[in-house]
Amino acid sequence: MITLSLGVRSLCATTAESQCDGSLCTAGSTWPLQPLVALVQAKRVTLELVLHELRRSDFAVLSTSDATGNPHSAGINYGMSGPESPITLFVMTRRHLRKARNIAQNPTVSLVIPLRRRLLQFLPPPTIQLRGHAEIVDWTDAEGTGVFQNFWMGRHILKAYCGSHRRGETRICFLRITPDPVINTYMVGSNIWLLRNRMESGAATVINDRKSR
């Protein structure tokens, strides 16, 4: 149990179906932390917020495994489909590299996307965790090239691979990743004060209800 002196009244007033009644919404009221954290978390972390953060970023750690389950992780740059499209991530690579070889054997992948902090940079970064399925598509894929042309790092990666292709490289490809509906986050939009007292309050889950391809 914790004692809240501020903020509970406004929280109750702005929540349409709050479970608290007027007797609890007073200064100095005693309020169980876990329901309050859940209520604040439900108001804070949304699919729209998660997608916004995914589009602001372009770096992730991609984890794959081969047919026997041997894991492999690599830092990658990714691009994401537009707001009107099903949620799809693209990674540009070459077919002989281990992540592409693993996906050819086992399409199940996971990604961790660390988010940059503008303030409090000494704290660990918020993260978004995805699971999904990947497939290898040609490097001339229209959707993949369109996605990479839409952000600075993507344009530089495309330019570099075009140069490699002119020099004879034939193994260039895209990894097209379709995330599962369940997306987990940690510390995304979290209140640092709440995290100091209950670390688990930083965890949240959102559901992608957009239709896949």
Q: Looking at per-residue confidence, does 168 or 21 come out higher? A: 168
- Report yes or no on 200 lying in a domain: no
**Is 2 in the same domain as 72?**
no
Query: What is the C-alpha to C-alpha distance for residues 11 and 29, in angstroms, rounded to an integer?
Result: 13
- Report yes or no on 160 lying in a domain: yes
Query: What is the C-alpha to C-alpha distance for residues 133 and 125, in angstroms, rounded to an integer?
Result: 25
Q: What is the pLDDT of residue 159?
A: 98
- Report yes or no on 41 lying in a domain: no
**Is 64 in the same domain as 13?**
no
- Model pLDDT for residues 91-126, shown as the tens digit of each residue: 999 999 999 999 999 999 999 999 987 766 667 789
pLDDT reading at 202 higher than 80: no
Q: What is the mean pLDDT of residues 141-163?
A: 98
- What is the CA angle 111-61-92, rounded to 5? 90
- Sole residue written with tokens 């020099």: 167
What is the number of structural domains in the chain? 2
Question: If DSSP codes are grouped into helix, strand and coil, which group holds residue 39?
Answer: helix
**Is 83 in the same domain as 160?**
yes
CA 110 to chain centre: 11
pTM: 0.75
Instruction: Please give the span between the terminal C-alpha atoms of the chain, in angstroms, as a whole number.
Output: 47
pLDDT reading at 19 higher than 60: no
**Is 56 in the same domain as 144?**
yes
**Is 16 in the same domain as 81?**
no
SS3 sequence of 111-144: EEEECCCCCCCCCCCCEEEEEEEEEEEECCCHHH
**Is 85 in the same domain as 7?**
no
**Spatial CB neighbours of 205, under 8 Å, sequence gap ≥ 6:** 182, 183, 184, 185
**Is 5 in the same domain as 69?**
no
